[in-house]
Chains A and B, each alone.
Chain A
Amino acid sequence: MGNEKKKKADGKKGGATEVSPIRALWRMLRRPSGHYALGTLLVAGAIGGVLFWGGFNWAMEMTNTETFCLSCHEMERNVYREYKETIHYNNRTGVRATCPDCHVPKEWFHKIMRKIQASNELYHHFLGTIDTREKFEAKRLQLAGNVWRVMKKTDSRECRNCHSFDYMELLMQEKRARDRHVDAIEQGKTCIDCHKGIAHQLPEGAYELERTITEAFHKKKEDEGSFGGDMAP
C-alpha cells in the first residue's frame, strides 16, 4: 500500500514512466482504442459476453441440482430422507419433482432473488445452526413457516409449474378431492393452503401456525384493499 502511494507520488512529481498496474488498466479502459478495429472489438466482446453469460448460467444451474442440495448433510439427513417416502419421489409413473423444482423459482428474476437469499442458508450451514436432528426439529416450525408464507404469497407458484386447476380432470379424482378442489377454485385458495406436509414431515404446532399465517395474509390483503380500493381518491 505504502509502496503504491510512493509510486503515485513519483508519477506526479516527475511524470516518470512508472505507473501502478491498476492505474494503467484504468487509463487503457478510458482511452478510445486506437489500435484495434471496431469490428474486432465487437466480435471479441460478443464472444466474451456469451462465455461469461454461459458460464454464469452454468454455474447457477450447478447449484440447482439435487446433488448440490444433498452436499449439505442437513438436507440429506432430514428433509431428503422424509421426501423419499412421499409421492413426489416415490410413485408409479417414475416422474419426480426434485428439490429445486419446488424450492427454486423458474423465472429468472425470482430465481436470482432466491439464490441471493440462499446465502443466508450457507451462513447458517457454516454456523451449524441445524447440524443435528435435535436442532433441526427445534427449528422445524420456523423453517416450515418460512416456506409456507412464501408459497402463500406467490400463490404456490412452484407447484403451478406442474399442477394447474385449469388442466385438472376433476372427474378422474376421488370424490373427496374433487369436492375440495371445486371449493378451492371458488374460494380462490392456493395449493399450500391445504397441501402442507406433502413432501416433508410436519412440525409440532403446524395447524396453529397455519391459522396464524392465513389470518395474517387475509388481514394484509384487506388492508391493502381498503387503501387501494374504494377509499382511493
Chain B
Amino acid sequence: MEKKCLLTIVALGLVCAIGLVPSVVAHAQDNVEFMRDRGIDENNTAPGIVKQKTDKGRFIRNYRQQPPLIPHRIDQYEIDKKVNQCMRCHDWPYNVTENAPKISETHYTNREGQALDHIARTRWFCTQCHVPQADAPELVPNTFKPLERKQ
C-alpha cells in the first residue's frame, strides 16, 4: 500500500514537471525576446551607430547635484595614470587662457579634507561622473522630475 502511494506521488510529480517545461521555456523566450530581436541561438543585430551631436550648446542640469555634461567630443582624450588631457583646459590657470569652465573647488580637496594645489586623485577620472552629452531618449520611460527650485 505504502509502495503504491509513493509510486503515485512520484508519477504525479513527473507529469507535473513535464507539463511545466514548455511553459517555462516559453516564458524564458518571451523575456529574452524582450531584450533581443532574434532567437537565443542567433546573433542579435548590432545597435545602430549614433553620432554625438555637440552643436546645440550646453544641456541644462536635470537636478542640483548632477555632474555637468560635457558639451564636446572627448573620444581621443587621454585620461590615465600619467596625464589627464581634460586638465589642459579645465584646471586653473589653463581655464583662464583657454576660456573654459574651471572644475569645481571641491575637486581640489582630498578625502581628508585637505585643500590641494592640484586636482585630488579621487577626482582624477573625469568620466566616472561627467559624460559627453547626447540626444539620447530614456531606455525605460519614467516620470522623474527634479524638485522645484525655490525662487
Q: Which residues of A approach B to under 8 Å, CB–CB?
A: 86-87, 174-176, 179-180, 197-198, 201-204, 206-207
- Known contacts A202-B82, A204-B83, A206-B83, A174 near B72 by CB under 8 Å: yes
Q: Is the CB of A197 within 8 A of B55?
A: no
Partner of B78, one of A174, A176, A197: A197
Residue B88 CB within 8 A of the other chain: yes
How many pairs, one residue from A and one from B, have CB atoms within 8 Å of each other in the complex?
Answer: 33
Cβ contacts A to B, 29 pairs, < 8 Å: A86-B76, A87-B76, A174-B54, A174-B72, A174-B73, A175-B55, A176-B72, A179-B99, A197-B83, A197-B85, A198-B76, A201-B78, A201-B80, A201-B82, A201-B83, A202-B82, A202-B83, A202-B85, A203-B82, A203-B83, A204-B81, A204-B82, A204-B83, A206-B82, A206-B83, A207-B83, A207-B87, A207-B88, A207-B94
Q: Is the CB of A174 within 8 A of B55?
A: yes
Residues of B close to A204: CB separation below 8 A: 81-83
Task: Give 10 closest A-B pairs by Cβ, nearest first.
Answer: A204-B82, A202-B83, A176-B72, A206-B83, A202-B78, A201-B78, A174-B54, A197-B78, A207-B88, A86-B76
The 0/1 profile, CB within 8 Å of A marked 1, for residues 80-109 of chain B is 111101011000001000110000000000
**B149 CB to nearest A CB, Å:** 29
Smallest Cβ distance from A167 to chain B, in angstroms? 22
Give CA–CA (A180, B97) in the complex, Å: 11
CB A203 to nearest CB in B, in angstroms, measures 7
Distance in Å from the Cβ of A191 to the closest Cβ of chain B? 15
**C-alpha spacing A24/B96, complex, angstroms:** 76
Chain B residue at minimal CB-CB distance from A206: B83
Residues of B near A198 (CB, < 8 A) are: 76
User: Closest residue of chain B to A175, judged by CB?
Assistant: B55
- Kindly provide the distance from the CB of B90 to the nearest chain A CB, expressed in whole angstroms: 12
Report chain A residues within 8 Å CB of B54: 174
New contact pairs (14) apart from A176-B72, A204-B82, A204-B83, CB-CB < 8 Å: A86-B76, A174-B72, A174-B73, A197-B78, A198-B76, A201-B78, A201-B82, A202-B78, A202-B82, A203-B82, A203-B83, A206-B83, A207-B88, A207-B94
From 53 to 91 in chain B, residues with beta carbon under 8 angstroms from any chain A beta carbon are 54-55, 72-73, 76, 78, 80-83, 85, 87-88
Which chain B residue shows the least CB distance to A197? B78
